[in-house]
A = this chain, B = another copy of it.
């Protein structure tokens, strides 16, 4: 069962994949913190969208949410600025050894990334094949091209190897995806 983002991580084993590092979200949060602390880029994960139904105002300062639901996100999880450029991406893990199922991403998130690209921003997805321990960055242009030319509902690993960019994991930053962006925009 998939955990929605934003669920208190105390309930999720952080080392779910053995010694292969933490989950993708934690690694990206640490990477973005590294970028911010070193004044390289200002990129944040957006909060998980929820609908709040009931709030108990116990005191003037403390409000307790007692009933809420997860909402379908209208945009991607991450955005920000790097060297004056608007950056926007979605990050997903897959346990598949051979392909990334497209139903992992909402269609309106893909359309959102396409709009970002058309407005002059940099849009992409980061996909981690957890059992292969490989992380790829795939630009939205290449994702759209795949969807326009293929009828398959999964992107094969070979497409990531051909059109995407392998991100090598490091200590700090853990997932240096801006290195890929840097290589592209030069």
Binding site for B on A (CB under 8 A): 1, 4, 6-8, 36, 39, 41-42, 44, 46-53, 55, 57, 60, 62-71, 73-75, 79-86, 88, 112, 115-116, 118-121
Cβ 8 A contact of A47, one of B46, B57, B66, B69: B46
Q: Please state the number of chain copies in the assembly.
A: 2
Which B residues touch A70, using CB under 8 A?
63, 65
**Bound Cα distance from A57 to B3, whole angstroms:** 10
- Chain B nearest CB from A42 CB (Å) reads 5
The closest CB in chain B to the CB of A51 belongs to B8
**Bound Cα distance from A44 to B86, whole angstroms:** 14
Which B residues touch A41, using CB under 8 A?
119
**Bound Cα distance from A121 to B36, whole angstroms:** 15
Which B residues touch A48, using CB under 8 A?
47, 50, 52
A64 touches B67 (CB 8 A): yes
Which B residues touch A42, using CB under 8 A?
112, 115-116, 119, 121
The closest CB in chain B to the CB of A4 belongs to B63
**Bound Cα distance from A48 to B68, whole angstroms:** 12
- Chain B nearest CB from A99 CB (Å) reads 23
**Bound Cα distance from A177 to B81, whole angstroms:** 20
- Chain B nearest CB from A77 CB (Å) reads 11
Which B residues touch A49, using CB under 8 A?
47
- Please give 19 more A-B residue pairs, beta carbons under 8 A apart, in addition to A63-B70, A80-B86: A1-B60, A6-B50, A8-B51, A39-B115, A42-B116, A44-B75, A47-B50, A47-B71, A48-B50, A50-B50, A50-B68, A64-B67, A65-B67, A65-B69, A66-B67, A81-B121, A82-B119, A84-B120, A85-B86
